[in-house]
């Protein structure tokens, strides 16, 4: 009777079989990664979105009492050069009268923790249903608190962008921003 030196019972060379198993597994892993990569890569932001990750705005031409709207990440951003009266009105509101209490100073402090009360920078999207409030252009209705007014459902914001009346649950959002100089601000 002949004896086999093959421990696998005569079903081929064990080193060859091991190699084929490893090679098949590796090829399957590469195929899975090649198939999954387009789906994973699709979750990354588009190049045009990355380009808008931050925007620099020259605020030097904005006169006291004037406001502009810039686009950042597809949203309007309101930049208002507030008057001393606007600042005084915002600072004099008792916190107990605010549905979303927030001090005026906390809304006009940039990322470097520098308070600039004359500059108010906010995302111009109503926190109720996402409409764009009026009040950033000359002649528009600023509402009863001389800030912004959302005509869709009647939300009224004060000169600090805080909700004062209406269905909006929160204040207008203040994005991260940094004054690079007295005339240049980077949003985002």
Please tell me the distance from the alpha carbon of residue 159 to that of residue 89, in angstroms, as a whole number.
Answer: 7
Residue owning tokens 């009224």: 156
Beta pairing class for 184-187 and 177-179: antiparallel
A 10 A CB-CB count for 105 gives 13
Among this protein's residues, is 81 annotated catalytic? no
Among the listed residues 11, 81, 128, 153, the single catalytic one is 153
A 10 A CB-CB count for 106 gives 11
Distance between the two ends of the chain, CA-based, in angstroms? 83
Q: If you ran DSSP here, which 8-state letter would residue 31 be given?
A: H
Please tell me the distance from the alpha carbon of residue 75 to that of residue 157, in angstroms, as a whole number.
Answer: 18
Hey, which residues are catalytic here?
153
């Amino acid at each position: 009777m002949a004896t086999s030196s093959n421990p696998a019972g005569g079903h081929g060379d064990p080193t060859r079989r091991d190699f084929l198993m490893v090679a098949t597994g590796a090829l399957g892993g590469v195929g899975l990664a090649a198939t999954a990569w387009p789906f994973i890569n699709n979750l990354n932001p588009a190049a045009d979105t990355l380009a808008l990750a931050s925007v620099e705005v020259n605020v030097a031409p904005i006169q006291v009492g004037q406001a502009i709207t810039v686009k950042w990440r597809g949203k309007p951003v309101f930049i208002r050069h507030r008057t001393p009266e606007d600042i005084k009105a915002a600072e004099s509101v008792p916190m107990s009268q605010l549905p979303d209490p927030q001090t005026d100073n906390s809304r006009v402090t940039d990322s470097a923790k520098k308070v600039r009360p004359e500059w108010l920078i906010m995302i111009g999207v109503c926190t109720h249903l996402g409409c764009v409030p009026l009040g950033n252009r000359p002649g528009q209705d600023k509402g009863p608190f001389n800030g912004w007014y959302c005509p869709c459902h009647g939300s009224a914001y004060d000169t600090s962008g805080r909700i004062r009346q209406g269905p909006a649950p929160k204040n207008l959002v203040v994005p991260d921003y940094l004054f690079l100089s007295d005339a240049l601000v980077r949003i985002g």
